[in-house]
Amino acid sequence: MLTQTEILKKAQNKYKTYLKSKIYNQNIFPLEIRGNMKVPENDYDKATSLFQIIYKESKFNKKYGYTLLLSDSRKIKISKLFFETEIDYLKYLSKEKEVNQFIEKMNILRKELNISNILLEKNLSKILKWDSEFTEQLSKTIKFLLENPNSGLYPRELPIDIPTKFIEKNLSAITYFLNEFTVLSDIDNKYQKLGLIDKDFLIYIRSFYEFNIFDTNNNSAKSKIINLNPSSFSTFLPNAKRIFVIENKTTFFTFPLKKNDICLYSGGFSILSFKNKNLINSKNLYYFGDIDEHGLAILSLFREIYPNAKSIFMDIMTLKNNLIFSSQKGTPYQGKIYNLTAEEIKIFEYIRKEKIILEQEKIPLDYIIKNIENL
């Protein structure tokens, strides 16, 4: 006779067949579970004991699960075991939530990508592992890349609502799934294969004083602005008392510097690619970003590299004093926030609730000049 363990295993083995039926909108119920239904001929007590275990977990007893058809007068011989309805089957496997999520993800893929049933079936195991948020972000990315096969954009510049680093973090999944819809070029570069630009991140350094610059022929020139790649920046010795890290380019060029000041700019999250042990030892390292969820997220991640960093103009007072320049177009940050002070957490929660953003370039220069004197 079938044991309870065997029934469960056989029911689980039919799960992918069931999911395929959802893809193709087919009804497979009642769903029969086949196996050895014979009872021990010479041991009535043993047969009764085995039957009672099976009966206990059946729909007769639990109001859901498998149904038993009995075929002898003693009512212990099973002629057929089956799941009468979809609800019976899913409740028995505790899969109701997972199936609802699978249907939601399937609908997202159909809406965004008009995906075929064949592709859904082929990628069934992958789709099961995704959550709905990832499925939507992946679908939007694939859709954009299909509609703009040679966009010439950087991975973080796509005009769609996805996390800043989504493409970098999920490049293999994006490449694989995009290749299901179109033939990708044989270019070796992983970003150019998607029609994107693979940029070598640079950090820009602006000083109150001029730098001496030498080319490969040892010709010299002077400039208040230089740029370095991550490797060169790692050994850069900042001859400065105050170091300001700026999120946006416009503010980088207009930020008021005094003697022995420098400011750094790489653009949003790109700053996290630049590590320099000399900055870790600085007592006057300041981060100035937008007052929005992403600006405070960058600050949080920046402190993982530079725990000594202090924020400026990213507080409630700055927001209130410049509220006229704010807007309600903030994009929610998807990750977790760490390394913020109590004051910074307070403003993060406030702007998340109010869906507000104050871009740093909107803060008047007079306000910055006046308040930077207090540092």
Same domain? For 102 and 64 the reply is: no
pLDDT in tens, 100-132: 999 999 999 999 999 999 999 999 999 999 999
Query: If you average pLDDT over residues 271-290, what whole number do you get?
Result: 90
* 209, 338: one domain: yes
Same domain, 123 and 254: no
How many helices (H) and strands (E) are present in the chain, helices listed first? 18, 9
Residue-wise pLDDT for 226-243, tens only, equals 988 877 898 999 889 999
Q: Are residues 219 and 340 in the same domain?
A: yes
pLDDT at 150 over 80: no
Whether residue 199 has pLDDT greater than 80: no
Predicted local distance difference test score (pLDDT) of residue 303: 94
CB 287 within 8 A of CB 263: no
Residues 223 and 266 in one domain: yes
Q: What is the model's pLDDT at position 155? A: 87
User: Edge-to-edge strand order for the sheet containing 310-311?
Assistant: 220-228, 203-214, 261-265, 242-246, 285-288, 310-311
**Residue 179 shares a structural domain with residue 280:** no
Q: Which of 48-62, 187-201, 323-337 has the lowest mean pLDDT?
A: 187-201
Number of domains in the chain: 3
Of 166, 194, 222, the domain-final residue: 194
The whole-number pLDDT of residue 200 equals 62
Has residue 359 got a pLDDT over 70?
yes
Average pLDDT over residues 306-326: 95
Residue 152's pLDDT is 66
208 in the same domain as 151? no
Q: Is pLDDT at 249 greater than 60 in this prediction? A: yes
In this structure, the answer to whether residues 212 and 354 fall within a common structural domain is yes
pLDDT tens track for 212-228: 887 667 778 889 999 88
SS3 236: coil
Based on the fold, state whether residues 357 and 304 are members of the same structural domain. yes
**Confidence class of residue 173 from pLDDT cuts 50, 70 and 90?**
very high
Residue 261 structural domain: 203-372
Residue with the two structure tokens 């010299």: 220
Among 60, 94, 128, the domain-final residue is: 94
**Beta carbons of 245 and 288 less than 8 angstroms apart:** yes
Beta-sheet strand order (sheet of 78-83)? 31-32, 78-83, 67-70
- The reply to whether 80 and 117 lie within a common domain is no
